[in-house]
Each structure stands twice: as structure tokens, then as C-alpha cells.
A and B are shown apart, each in its own frame.
Chain A
Amino acid sequence: MSFDWLIKIGYVLLGLFIVLNYGLLQYGVIRRISARIGKRIGVKVYQPYIDLIKNYSFRSQITHGVMFYLGPVFRLSGGVGVFLFMPLIFGSEHFSNYSFSGDLILILYFLFFGMLGMALGAGEGGHPYSFIGISRGLSQFTTIELPFTLAVISLAIQYHTFSITDIVAAQQGGIMHWTLMTNPLATAAAMLSFLGMMGNSPFNVVIAPQENPIGPPTEYHSTFLAVLQTNRAILGPVEAILMVNLFFGGATNWVSLIIKSFLVFFWPVFVGIVFPRFRVDQSIPWFLKLPFVLGILAIFLI
């Protein structure tokens, strides 16, 4: 009897554990760096861990119904779903997760899945205005996905495949083979939409503390919030790894994966520190202008 599937699950969980810790540390480092820019010392690097433990250790919860429970669960399964189908290390038998020939389409679906679950959950919360936050969030995320999807279509035309592993394989052999060099327009469109995907400053009006009284996470507390934080710690680095895989030649070992995804991860952080927050009626047209046009051009000029 073969136990390969068991070993496979073990390695997937190990990868998930590594990515979760990587994400938590990365958010700590981000807050530290943005504090230094503001001439502060900032939080401890391991503060996200403490916050997570504290939120899991609250003794009471208030629920508003079944969907309210399921909202964070959907969000987390969206994040873990993206992780499950993402090949982390190219050529590695163990850290390719459940990557298969059409994984890119599935990942695009999972990116949106969490948002929808969250919308349903927050809609059932006791907050009368949460639907404003939801409609803002969903409409903004739709326009964020648009340039990214166009870039993905451009990649599919370029490489004749929807498999992330094949796309990474086609980019091997030096920096000149990266999509960044072979298809700069698609890279630009995707990196601009990546700014919105990470939910940093110019595009974070939905979850911004000042706007939080009408944002979807307002009612989420204690364990619910901890589940959302866990998802954020997984989804953030996984989205960065997706960008590394699609546009920056992937990674053949953990060191290059962490260096590349770290740099990609910091692109929205630096933009976020420099630029102030957009309102939703500013951010949606922004995505429909330059990134959208770049995405269209990427398809036609490939």
C-alpha cells in the first residue's frame, strides 16, 4: 500500500506552516519599516503573532447567524485554496502543492471567493451600514481583477498554457527569459493591479481604520478576527509568490523564493507609504485607465 498521498499532505501542511510564519513576520517587518519612515520605532517584529494569539484567546464571542460564522471561514478557505494550487518551488517534488494543468484559472477564482464569502458574512452582521463597505469592496476588487485577468490571458497566449508550473518552466534560463522581459506590458498591468490586491494605502479605503465603522470587518471580533488575520498572513505572501511565478521567473529554492517574494511584497508597501488613500470613486476609474489599457495592449502586442 502506498502512502505517497499522506507524505504529500504532510509536505503541503509544512509549506502552509512556513508561508503562514513568513507572512506574519513580513507584516511585522512592514509595520516596522513604515514606522521608521514616520520616525517612530514601531511595533515589535513579532507583534502580529501576539495579536493573533490574543484574538484567539478571547473568552466570549457574539454571533449574528450562520453566514456570520461562515464569512471568515470562506475567507480563510479562499486563502488556503490559493495556496493549495500554487507551486512554491519550481522543480521541487514536495513543494509543488496540488498544482495541475489549469491551476491559474482556479487561483483566479479563489482570489475572488474569499471576498464573496466575506460579503455574505458581513451582510448578516448587526451593522446597518456594512453593505456600503461590501459594495465598495466588491466593486473595487472587480476592477482590480480586470487588468490582472487581462495580463493572465496575455500570458496564456504567450505560453499556450494555463499551468503555473509550465509558465515558470518557460521562464527558466536567466533574467532575459522572465516574463518581465518577454512581456513587459502584461507585467506592468499585473503589478499595478497587484497594488490593489494587497490592500495597501492608495486602495485600502475598504479596510482603513478611519473608514472601518462602515467596513465589512467592523463586526468581526475575537476568534472571527483571528481567522481573518490568519488568512491575511497566508494570502499576502501567496499572492506575492503568484507574481513571482508568473512574471519573475519563479524560484528553484526557498532562499530565492523568499528574496523575490519579499521584494514583490514591498512594492505595494512602498507605494502605500508614499501615496495617500484614494476614495472608491477615484480608485475604480484609476484601475480602468492605465492598468486596463496596458492589459489590453499586452494581449494585442504579444
Chain B
Amino acid sequence: MENKDFIKPYYESKIVESPDGEEIKVNPLEDYFCGEAPKSHAPNSNKLWESFLNWARAESLWVLGFGTGCGSMEILPLMTPRFDAYRFGVQMRPTPRQSNVIIISGYLSVKTLKRAIRSYEQMQNPKYVMALGSCTINGGMYYDSYNTINRLDHYMPVDVYITGCMPRPEALLAGFEEMKRLIKAGKGEKANEYAENFEWYKANQKKIIKDWNMPDYNW
């Protein structure tokens, strides 16, 4: 049995009867998901205005509370008095809709990659990816694992890499500073890059995720 069959009934279109006896056609793939591919959104043509907006984007990094691997342990101290990332405009958000930074904190198993992609795609343009630890660069100590990915930027566009195993919270803060510098310089356009090279990213993702049972784009 293929894994897809497990959730097939959920995706099949069906007819549901309401309490009044009315028959309603439900097609989850059309009703709940958007079939469109992501669009590229060009920056504002007024350079001065765009650099002002980029300043605001850089000074207000809302990080999605999404922990993968061992690196998420290093994110928690960021919010404590010792490191206090709030000083730099870094705040945690619980939902992908409201955040503009996703941190892939360490090794990414194939199972988690699926969730990471879904969360990343639900974030709104412009959005930034920070890759933490050597596992996201070349697989790190899990380079020959059967179940983790080796290079993160094959699956989603990465803005900033932080090297180390594990990087200290100070390294994370330095990474945030680097990300701010990139955004202020107008180089934080990776969300558009993802939209423009959507097929390539999708093909890579599908190559490694065997039980692909979600829509192609999860907006």
C-alpha cells in the first residue's frame, strides 16, 4: 500500500449532507488549498521608499517558532536576559502567517522537511531563511544518514548560514546582524527567487520526499 492511500479519503471530493438535508459538495483540494504557484512580487520602484521599508523589515524580524534538530536549544536562550534578542528587534511568533523569518536550526529530517516547506510557503513575501549549524550546509555529522537532507539550499532559498556545531547564541545574534545588513542593502529578495525558480525547488523537494501528499504550493 502506498502511503498516499492513508490520507486519500481526506482529499477526495465528496458530498456531505447538512442538518437541514441540503447536499453540499466538498472538494478539499479546491476549497482549502490554492492551486496557484507563488508569484514574484517586485520591490517598490521608488528606491528611497523601498530602502525605508527594508529598514523597517530589518529592524522587525519576527521569527517563526519552529524548532528542528538540536539547534532549537540555542534559540531559547536568545530571549533570556543574558542574550536578550528583543534589543535587536527579534521577536518570536507562533504562526507562520505573521512571521517573516524561519530558522532551520540544525539537521532536517525528511519528515520535518515537509513541515518546514509547508510553514515556509505559508509565510508572506518578503520572507527570510536562516540556516543554523553545519547540518544545513553539508549534512554535518549526519552527512551519510538515510533520513536527513545534506544541503538546505536545494529545498528553500537560504539568506544567512551560521556555521558551527552547535553555534552559540552569540553566533545567532551575529547572524541576525548579518541578515539585517543584507535586508537593508536590498538583498533580501529570496522569496522572489523561490517563486521564480519554483519548479526547480519543487522537483528537488519531490525527489527526496517520497510520500508527497500535499498540494504543490501551500501558500
**A residues in contact (CB < 8 Å) with B:** 31, 35, 38-44, 47, 50-51, 53-54, 57-62, 126, 209-210, 212-213, 218-222, 225
Contacts and interface: CB of A to CB of B under 8 A. Distances in A.
Contacts of B53: 53-54, 57
Interface stretch (B81-89, B145-153, B156-164, B208-216): B81-89
B86 A40 contact: yes
Interface stretch (B7-15, B90-98, B109-117): B90-98
Contacts of B89: 43-44, 47, 50
B72 interface: no
Given A54-B56, A57-B53, A42 B86 contact: yes
Contact of B41 (A35, A41, A60): A60
Interface residues on B, range: 20 to 34
Contacts of A38: 81
A221 B32 CA distance: 18
B57 interface: yes
A126 B124 contact: no
Contact of A51 (B39, B41, B60, B87): B60
B140 interface: no
A209 B92 contact: yes
Interface in B38-70: 39, 41, 52-53, 56-57, 59-60, 62
A221 B97 CA distance: 5
B136 to A, nearest CB: 26
A219 B97 contact: yes
Contacts of B205: none
B124 A213 contact: no
A244 B96 CA distance: 39
Given A40-B86, A50-B59, A209-B93, A225 B98 contact: yes
B77 interface: no
Contacts, number: 83
B interface secondary structure, majority = loop
B119 interface: no
Given A59-B125, A126-B32, A40 B81 contact: yes
Interface in B17-48: 32, 34, 39, 41
B95 A42 contact: no
A222 B86 contact: no
Interface of B: 32, 34, 39, 41, 52-53, 56-57, 59-60, 62, 80-81, 84, 86-87, 89, 91-95, 97-98, 100, 124-126, 219
11 contacts: A39-B81, A40-B80, A40-B87, A43-B87, A58-B126, A209-B92, A209-B94, A210-B94, A212-B94, A221-B97, A221-B124
Nearest to A213: B94
Nearest to B93: A209
Contacts of A51: 60, 62
B87 A41 contact: yes
Given A209-B94, A213-B95, A59 B84 contact: no
Nearest to A219: B97
B56 A53 contact: yes
Contacts of B93: 209
Contacts of B62: 51
Name which of B41, B81, B92, B95 has the most chain A CB atoms within 10 A of its CB: B95
Contact of B124 (A31, A43, A222): A222
B86 A60 contact: no
Contact of A62 (B41, B80, B92, B124): B124
Contacts of B41: 59-60
A212 B81 CA distance: 24
Nearest to A225: B98
Nearest to A209: B94
Name which of A40, A62, A212, A220 has the most chain B CB atoms within 10 A of its CB: A40
A42 B94 contact: no
Contact of A60 (B56, B87, B92, B125): B125
